[in-house]
Amino acid sequence: MFLVTMNCFSQGVMQKKASPVIQKNISTKESAIKNGSGSSNKVNPDNASATLSDEYFSLNNETGKAANMHYSCILFDKDNRQIASFKDNSNQHEYSAGSEIAALKMQNGNAATFGDFSKGGRLHITIESKGNESWKISVLKLTLEFLNPGLTQNLSWKEIDLSSGKKEVDLFFNEATQDPIGKYDVKSNKKS
């Protein structure tokens, strides 16, 4: 499913959905290896009070990202409350085509529980580029780790295109989504 919305600056924002994989009581190393595959395990409602402890993401780059292209990622819960963020303002972080950037840690903003994500959420990405630059991410993986009880939620999205003409993207996740993640045709507003 692909949706287009307009933000307050009348700029198109691309939206994609991902399927979560919920894993209970698995170590960080094991959970990082087990990636969202489009299936979802039902989680006991008693886990709703599990506290979010860590959020991080990794990128597989299809094309390179220029050092002067800055970006930010903001994690929102189901109520559109900002939970965590990451900002790269450095002019020294150039990503080459085909590279993998692993485990970029997000900074906590507001406290959250597993229940805050039980009906989904979103990851909002914005780029700041000089000139006519583009950046294609073949796979973005987001990991949310919770404590008491220990839960890990792994999410992934494919084929994310950002450019000077498309500077924002919203990556949604919803427990009920079972569709595999694929490419989206922006012009026809449908999955390709």
* pLDDT tens digit sequence for 77-122: 999 999 999 999 888 889 999 999 988 999 999 999 999 988 889 9
* Cβ–Cβ under 8 Å, residues 17 and 172: yes
Between CA 80 and CA 154 the distance in angstroms is 19
* Cβ–Cβ under 8 Å, residues 54 and 104: no
% of the chain surpassing 70 pLDDT: 67
Between CA 20 and CA 76 the distance in angstroms is 15
Q: Could you tell me the residue ranges of all domains in the chain?
A: 3-37+50-186
Is the pLDDT score of 9 beyond 70? Answer: no
The gap from C-alpha 30 to its chain's centroid, in whole angstroms, comes to 20
Write the pLDDT tens digit of every residue in 113-157: 999 988 889 999 999 987 788 999 999 999 999 999 888 888 999
**In 10 A of CB 51, how many CB atoms?**
14
pTM for the full predicted model = 0.71
User: What local confidence, expressed as pLDDT, does residue 119 receive?
Assistant: 83
Strand residue runs (E) in 19-112: 21-24, 51-61, 70-76, 82-88, 100-105, 107-108
3-state secondary structure of 14: strand
Considering the four listed CATH numbers 2.60.60.20, 3.40.50.2300, 3.40.430.10, 3.40.50.300, the one that applies to the domain covering 3-37+50-186 is 2.60.60.20
Considering only residues 5 and 84, tell me which one the structure prediction assigns the higher pLDDT: 84
Is the pLDDT score of 29 beyond 70? Answer: no
